[in-house]
Structure 1
Amino acid sequence: MHVLPATTPEQFDHIHALYLTAFPENERKSFTLMQDLMKKGLLDIVFFETDDQPFIGFAILAIHDQTMLVDYLAINPDYRGKGYGSTAIEWLIKEYPRHKICLEIESTNVDSDNPQERINRKEFYLKNKLTMLPFEAEVFEVRFELLANDTAISPEEFVAIYHNVYGPHISKNVSIIDAE
């Protein structure tokens, strides 16, 4: 799998289309805002492809100091279950070895209409060498569990990513919750 910075309109069209189907509306940020933040150097938007397949998936990475939030990671449904998600996680850890890497998953500690999907997602990330952080977060009223590479990330560092990348308008909608 090749990982490239997203640069072309066609790449952004593929990313945007998958973004709209892979994430619930209440968890999506403005795609235009994210593209603007990428141009300012606050986000990395990367595109996954292979020699045979022009679009496998994408990741949107919010970076502040040495802490990174994998804000969105999605694999095209046609290629799920084929190891590409694991390869993407391996790439992130290898490509950003000095960063504290974290990501959010919909909490398995609250009632939902998709509990097994949430459990499967959590098991996937745990299988791929990420560990649970001892706190959760609520972002725009959606509760998330947080995972990280083998480094500890404090609640303050997590909130600082939102504040410094997305600004106070979005970060005011982020709160920390002690894990149950």
Structure 2
Amino acid sequence: MHFLAYYDGDDFCGFTYTVENEDMVFVLYLAVNDEIRSKGYGTAILTDLKARASGRGVALNIEPLDPHAANSEQRVRRLDFYRRNGFFSTDYNLIDGGDRYLILCTKEDFPVEDYIRVIKRISFGLHVPNVERVK
């Protein structure tokens, strides 16, 4: 697991918290300082994260689009942001505690087995994630 904080000089910009194995980097959290959003820092953080991945796929989960959700516009903006930054929608969802999340990855040919292995690493192999293929 890696926790990285990003700064522009002395100014805190954001952070990433990832779990990694030899095949994939999974982003548990990516946050950008609210005071400097929409100024390119999120893109810069993702660019650095993908460079650090050294050719491995980078995957993450986001809430699905839902026009009835209270944060519907935020969900659309988040998906658009990740797509602009080289992430693809996969044909898979993560089901966690009854909630469904879209799985995005930088590899168009999403390696679901690599994703499952890296997610299992979070729990030291004790928890197998519930991943379903979208029909």
RMSD across aligned C-alpha pairs, in angstroms? 1.9
What are structure 1's unaligned runs of at least 5 residues? 1-42
Deviating 4+ runs (over 3 angstroms):
none
Count of residues in correspondence between the two structures: 135
* 2:133 alignment partner AA: D
* 2:25 alignment partner AA: M
Query: 1:111 Cα deviation (Å)?
Result: 5.2
Query: 1:52 Cα deviation (Å)?
Result: 4.2
Partner of 2:96: 139
Partner of 1:47: 5
Q: TM-score normalized by structure 1? A: 0.68
* 2:134 alignment partner AA: A
Asked whether 1:75 is paired with 2:32, we answer yes
* 2:5 alignment partner AA: F
Alpha-carbon distance change, 110 to 67 in structure 1, aligned in 2, over 3 angstroms: farther
What are structure 2's unaligned runs of at least 5 residues? none
C-alpha offsets along residues 14-61 of structure 1, whole Å, 9 cap, x if unaligned?
A: xxxxxxxxxxxxxxxxxxxxxxxxxxxxx01000101141x1110001
Partner of 1:96: 53
Higher fraction of helix:
1
CA contact (8 A) 1:100 1:151 kept: no
Q: TM-score normalized by structure 2? A: 0.88
Q: Which protein, 1 or 2, shows the higher relative CO under an 8 Å CA cutoff with sep ≥ 6?
A: 2
Partner of 1:154: 111
Q: Aligned partners of 1:68, 1:154: CA distance in 2, in Å? A: 12
Partner of 1:128: 85
1:87 to 44, 47, 57: 44
Higher fraction of strand:
2
Question: Identity across aligned pairs (percent)?
Answer: 20
